[in-house]
Chain A
Amino acid sequence: MTAHTEEAGVPAPTVQGTGDGPERADRSERLSALAQQHGALVTLVIAMVVASLSFDTFLTGDNLENMALSSAFLAVVALGMTFVIVTGGIDLSVGSLFALGGVLAAWGSRYGTAVALLLPLAVCGLVGLVNGLLIARVRLAPFIVTLAAMLGARGLLLAITDEGSRTYLVDKDSFFATLGQGTLLGVGVPVWITLALFAAGAVVLRRSRFGQYVYAVGGNEDAGALMGAPVARTKITVYTLSGLCAGLAGALNAAWLASGVTILGTGMELDAISAVVIGGTLLTGGSGFISGSLVGVLLLKVIQNVINQIGSLDSAYQQVVSGAFLAVVVIAQTWLGRRRRVL
């Protein structure tokens, strides 16, 4: 009945569960893991091939450059969100923090690049920290805490811009503006920054001890605590990280636009969450990876680009498509997850 091996006189406990087909179970397990990991990438490649065959304008340098740039800001937000979602949480405040970060950066840019960068990081990081403290120490539900933070940050944004009527401008010749508008080797600086951040994020999540704690907290919080993972500290860190990422993305965006636009960022939390989930991170926590989120962002942007290229379609279709996409991915995840539990 069971695969019972004896080696060197050591009775080995059975490893596989009982049943008729450990190998078959194995294969479907691997297949579903593969689907989770690479499904988004395969879809992205297909989408790009189809798009470049259908539209001459798709595979042009300008179009790709534009897509890369507009992806960069959402990608940075999604990076922070990935950490939060792997711990099994959610951060709805990133859209507001993105806008707040942009306004603060634009206001701060008159005092130099350092202030333009550090001010949004400090404020948005602080909001993230408060989120984390309320969630980890006071044990309030993440979605309601970050929903309140979304409102609070938006309020703060209105308060410092005369109720949204004042737009701070960034001096186009300043070094700070170069961070958004400059190019390096023909590629925009924000794209380089984003790539560097993703590389760092991937190393942190995969290769650092903190990363292991993030997975442990999301996979089984109680077990993680009993195994000695600092649960509260890990949660506080990920929400702070998410706040920092949103603030930085806002600042870079302000540098790119050369102004702190107050109406940005509404609905961005949804795009970020969609991108992360499409990229293969389980919303229930405990499983996911950084590179997937980048793929998820690109996929959303390609879809958007295609819808824009069609021209006759309204941009609202973008929302319909990404909502439907999110639903399909979540159903697939739940379904795969349930099959795995049975095994």
Chain B
Amino acid sequence: MTELTFARPSLDRARLLRLLQDYGVYAGVLVLLLFDVAFTPHFLSVENFRTQAVQVAPVLVVALGMALAIGAEGVDLSVGSVMALSTSLISLYLGYGPWIAVLVALAGGIVVGAANGALIAFVGVQPIVATLALMVAGRGVALVLLPQLKDVRDPDMAALGSGAVLGVPYLVLIAAGLALLTAFVMRRTTFGRQVLAIGDSRPAARLAGLPVGRVLVVVYVSCGALAAIAGVLATARLSASDPTSLGTLMELSAITAVVVGGTPLSGGRVRVGGTVAGAVLIQLLTTTLIKHDLPPSWTQIAQAAVIVLAVYAARERGRR
């Protein structure tokens, strides 16, 4: 996450590019914040910040898992479907109590993640393809389980969706906690190092005796579990289960957050802080455009442009 190399004062082009890749996302967030403070009415209010934070929470949680997958030189396109599956399972099992429902939803995400991981690690299918199959099938299963929108009326879920501690919503606390946990895992555990080594050079990792298959399965299981948690959070916030639309294009938002945050698509590097900032950046961009009465169509086009720019900026690093 942090790079402690303050050598050579020469600011040549490569170095500038590197700085842009590493800190561009923070600068972007700052610029947007300043712009909003100056030009957007009612931006500087506690209520607004709370809304923004609550909206970004599910995206961030999914993006954390996506960052792991991308760091291991993969990608997980099934995250949106896992969210849908998660929300369907919650509705179905809410009768047994909220905890059981949440656990079942989590189990669903883990199963999808394990299937992804097994296809990728043991069968040798490309990540895009394997997770594509699960993306199609996952939403199908979600819709089979729960064909249409259903209200979720449960006091505990409602509390999760709108409650707060010291003014900070539970959703935000959970997302922040998961971000810290991910950062800790990446920095301090053997698993974190092994993910990076596998993402950087899989043959080398294999010859160094790393349990490549096992690590990959854990990566995709984590990704599935995080997406399921995001599904739970979104369900709680909306007080409804909508497997048709929940999580559509979520894979795109998550990938955008990760890539904008400076994690290269070529793997071998995971920037958790950058991913958080990336998710915030996308959220701020959307809000800014909406608050200035620009239609959603513009938001989509702007997001597309940001993705291409971010991938373009990260491109140089891929070429070693």
Contacts and interface: CB of A to CB of B under 8 A. Distances in A.
B102 to A, nearest CB: 23
A69 interface: no
B143 A144 contact: no
A324 B143 contact: no
A158 B296 contact: yes
A320 B126 contact: no
A155 interface: yes
Contacts of B135: 270, 323
Contacts of B75: 143
Interface in A30-76: none
Interface in A251-274: 266-267, 270, 273-274
Interface stretch (A133-141, A167-175, A180-188): A133-141
A156 B137 contact: no
A151 interface: yes
A144 B124 CA distance: 21
Contacts of A12: none
A210 to B, nearest CB: 26
A144 B132 contact: no
A90 interface: yes
Interface in B295-320: 295-301, 303-305, 307-308, 311-312, 315
Contacts of B140: 316-323
Most buried by B among A139, A155, A317, A318: A155
B136 A323 contact: yes
Most buried by A among B133, B139, B296, B315: B133
Interface in A144-195: 144-145, 147-152, 154-159, 163
Contacts of B134: 323, 327
Given A144-B255, A283-B126, A138 B312 contact: yes
A326 B136 contact: yes
A334 B123 contact: yes
A266 B308 CA distance: 21
Contacts of B144: 314, 316-317, 320
Contacts of A157: 297
A330 B308 contact: no
Interface in B264-294: 265
B259 interface: yes
Nearest to A321: B140
Given A148-B304, A154-B300, A156-B301, A90 B128 contact: yes
Given A147-B252, A148-B308, A159 B297 contact: yes
A324 B307 contact: no
A141 B265 contact: yes
B132 A158 contact: no
Contacts of A141: 265, 311
B138 interface: yes
Question: Which applies to chain B's interface (DSSP): helix, strand, loop or mixed?
Answer: helix
Contacts of B133: 323-324, 326-327, 330
Contacts of A138: 312, 315
Contacts of B312: 138, 140
Interface residues of B, number: 44
B301 A143 contact: no
Contact of B147 (A149, A316, A334): A316
B141 A147 contact: no
Contact of B132 (A163, A273, A317, A318): A273
Nearest to A149: B304
Interface in A315-343: 316-324, 326-327, 330-331, 334-335, 338
A318 B123 CA distance: 25
Contacts of A90: 128
Contacts of B181: none
Contacts of B143: 314, 316, 319
A163 B295 contact: yes
B149 to A, nearest CB: 14
B137 A327 contact: yes
A150 B119 CA distance: 27
B130 interface: yes
Contacts of A212: none
Given A323-B137, A324-B137, A155 B297 contact: yes
A284 B129 CA distance: 10
A152 B147 contact: no
Given A90-B128, A314-B147, A326-B132, A158 B297 contact: yes
Given A143-B75, A147-B255, A316-B147, A327 B119 contact: yes
Contacts of B142: 316
Interface in A275-304: 277, 283-284
A317 B137 CA distance: 9
Contacts of A143: 75, 128
B267 to A, nearest CB: 12
Contacts of B141: 316, 320
Given A144-B311, A158-B295, A152 B137 contact: no
A159 B137 contact: no
Interface string B245-270: 00011001001000100000100000
Most buried by B among A150, A319, A321, A326: A319
Contacts of A151: 249, 252, 300-301, 303-304, 307
A314 B143 CA distance: 8
Contacts of A277: 129
Interface of B: 75, 119, 123-126, 128-130, 132-144, 147, 248-249, 252, 255, 259, 265, 295-301, 303-305, 307-308, 311-312, 315
25 contacts: A140-B308, A140-B311, A140-B312, A143-B75, A144-B255, A145-B308, A145-B311, A147-B252, A148-B304, A152-B300, A155-B296, A155-B298, A155-B299, A158-B295, A159-B297, A270-B132, A273-B132, A317-B140, A317-B144, A319-B140, A323-B134, A326-B132, A330-B119, A330-B130, A334-B123
Given A267-B136, A319-B139, A330-B130, 12 more contacts: A140-B311, A151-B252, A151-B300, A152-B304, A266-B248, A316-B139, A316-B147, A317-B140, A318-B140, A320-B140, A323-B140, A331-B123
